[in-house]
Chains A and B, each alone.
Chain A
């Protein structure tokens, strides 16, 4: 490297930084490129240009810069961080996840960079989510293909049978009415099979559980929520203890029959409580399984978490 080039590169980098600060990322990128021409051994010039290119959404450029920067300096948290973002943007979640994890590891191992931990861990989660979404999309597509293939097979068989019956009617070996009846039977058989097949697919699909409703017998008639601690009244109806007590404080009557009812009359409904607990465990278990151990933020399930 000719003497003075390192200094010139530093000057150009500073100009690039100034433009970056002003939000003029295009000009910043140009200055960083000039700096790199003067000094191609400084990993920071590459990460700076990668950051500018990230803003300009030049994803391929970001990836090139990060890789070159990492070649120059292995423990390069910034480069891995920018790399992960670009990989996520071009829909390579697997690579993005490993880059983000690398950045995270470097970040937690270095004392001065821990303030970035939250930002990077958010990126890790984002990459995980993207990865799960792709897997889920493929899975649904595969299932749909299999289902339509099986449906086509059933339809083919059905059509063949109908043809055969029609041929027999035409040839006179079976009466018209008898033939029609046979066709109707075959049609019903076919419809039933299709229904059973679809039901079986729907049941075996964990996605299907999402739409599953809490059965009415586990639901408190006052809050319309699944019960945690059901109590039974004298007329045999069960309610969530807390909400029923709220009602009894106001009016000591059975909500349904209006007969006198006091808090002392209530008895816990053990079997129903077991059923509620079992339902909650089964369903929230699914919630956690499917998202790679991440906490599911879906509010639809918020009521299922025991409080």
Chain B
């Protein structure tokens, strides 16, 4: 209902101007968009790398959060960033993207900016606890997973 018009407007804005390190890769329809993000400072974990994000919108966006995951690409190289809240299959554990943490005033750009700062502020070269098991057995959609947001320090 709201989604179409709102996404059209977001797209116009994204085509006009984007913050540094954020690029619109593909937005052919109003269901799935691809964005590239880079970390703008010298954090050695992410320096010189670019990561691809996949946004999937429901018809209730922005009342409902979009589904946002990192998605790997071979060429050009788009790995999954190493981070204690990012699983190796690209699923992100961020309260802003979860059911309770989402607010309809967020948008594609603000999600990208939040993810940039989530990476920038990280110092640990590690995956979340139980990454192997999660990646192997998880069949749920990212939004339906009840992550426990315990260490907000990261």
Contact = CB atoms under 8 A, between A and B. Distances in A.
B5 A222 contact: no
A243 B2 contact: yes
B5 A258 contact: no
Contacts, number: 39
Contacts of A222: 2, 6, 62-63, 104-105
A253 B6 contact: no
B41 interface: no
A90 interface: no
A303 B2 CA distance: 12
Contacts of A250: 63-64
B6 A224 contact: yes
Nearest to B10: A224
B5 A303 contact: yes
Contacts of A247: 63, 103-104
Contact of A224 (B5, B63, B64, B103): B5
Nearest to B13: A224
B104 A225 contact: no
Given A222-B62, A224-B10, A247-B63, A253 B103 contact: yes
Secondary structure class of chain B's binding surface, majority of residues:
loop
* Chain A contact residues, majority secondary structure: loop
Contacts of A251: 100, 102-103
B47 to A, nearest CB: 33
A255 interface: yes
Q: How large is the interface on B (under 10, 10 to 19, 20 to 34, 35 or more residues)?
A: 10 to 19
B5 A223 contact: yes
A256 interface: yes
A246 to B, nearest CB: 5
Nearest to A242: B2
Contacts of B2: 222-223, 243, 246
B120 to A, nearest CB: 23
- For chain A, give the interface size range: 10 to 19
Interface in A232-287: 243, 246-247, 250-251, 253, 255-256, 258
B136 interface: no
Interface string B1-33: 010011001100000000000000000000000
Nearest to B2: A223
B104 A243 contact: yes
B103 A255 contact: yes
A221 interface: yes
Contact of B5 (A221, A225, A256): A225
Given A224-B10, A256-B103, 11 more contacts: A222-B2, A222-B62, A223-B5, A243-B104, A247-B63, A250-B63, A250-B64, A251-B102, A251-B103, A255-B104, A256-B105
9 contacts: A222-B2, A222-B6, A222-B105, A224-B5, A224-B6, A224-B9, A247-B63, A256-B103, A258-B103
